[in-house]
Amino acid sequence: MALDRARHSTAPGTKFDDAIARGAEWVEGLQSKDGGWGAFDADNSYYYLNNIPFADHGALLDPPTDDVSGRCLGMFAQLGVKSDDPRLARAIEFLRRSQLGDGSWFGRWGVNYVYGTALVLRGLEAIGMDLHEPCIQQGAEWLRMVQNPDGGWGETCGSYDDPSTRGVGPSTSSQTAWAILGLLAANDTRSDSVARGIAYLLRTQKKDGSWDEPYFTGTGFPRVFYLMYHLYRQYFPLLAFTTYAKIMAASGSD
């Protein structure tokens, strides 16, 4: 995706084209039969293998996940693939099936349902799905429902153990940014949720321009160990700010 952006800033037919085509072909080849994508493999969904004694933390597999599938949709959309393409149609159906009853989607590689929901909404928006579709509006409504009173969003690693706690936890800069990006992808520019989220990020930014984030928001093995990606707290808020500013400017709002 970065190479594609670089390609558009240079002369056509540059050295980027071959690398982009090879990468896109590789991702296409990793689409599973059910329409989704895992992180490393295709059709790696033989869950019984997790029961063998040396299974790696009960996470021996790499099944298709909502968050990765949303990101792959975004990549193909950026490369100009249309939503009626059979590959994307299968992915959309995968995400329709995997959406939970409350409107959220699971996040395998980031904590957790706030992450998954935001990435799916961004992927569906990127491919041009009608933003009035129930799955999109239900996902956005779930994000609004779990917003904290301070205007931010947060979710603890405990949501992997107890799904009833999804979307519940102290506000963090990375998770707040994810939620804002998800809502903006669903065309939520009228409710006060996004404005309150932006205000939270502005209020909690330190004088040196950074944010503190004492909680782990990256996932290694769900229910086993988690990761603190130290730049999550910095670059996701910047992405939320720039996305918000572009949308507000395009709509003529201050």
pTM: 0.94
In terms of Cα–Cα distance, which of 194, 205, 197, 201 is closest to 247? 194
What pLDDT is stored for residue 58 in this prediction? 67
In terms of Cα–Cα distance, which of 69, 82, 97, 104 is closest to 186? 104
The pairs formed by 87-93 with CB atoms below 8 angstroms and a separation of 24 or more are 87/28, 87/31, 88/127, 90/31, 90/34, 90/35, 91/31, 91/35, 91/36, 91/37, 92/35, 92/124, 92/127, 92/129, 93/35
Under 8 Å between Cβ of 157 and 165: no
- Cβ-proximal residues to 52 (8 Å cutoff; 6+ apart), any chain: 60
Secondary structure (3-state) at 131: coil
At 100-148, the pLDDT tens digits run: 999 999 999 999 999 999 999 999 999 999 999 999 999 999 999 999 9
**CA-CA distance, 37 to 32, in Å (whole number)?**
6
DSSP 8-state secondary structure symbol assigned to residue 37: B
Amino acid at 2: A
At 152-168, the pLDDT tens digits run: 999 999 999 999 999 99
What pLDDT is stored for residue 253 in this prediction? 67
**CA-CA distance, 47 to 249, in Å (whole number)?**
48
Under 8 Å between Cβ of 48 and 60: no
**CA-CA distance, 95 to 54, in Å (whole number)?**
31
Residue 11 has pLDDT above 70, yes or no: no
The CATH classification of domain 31-251, taken from the options 1.20.1250.20, 3.40.50.300, 1.50.10.20, 3.50.50.60: 1.50.10.20
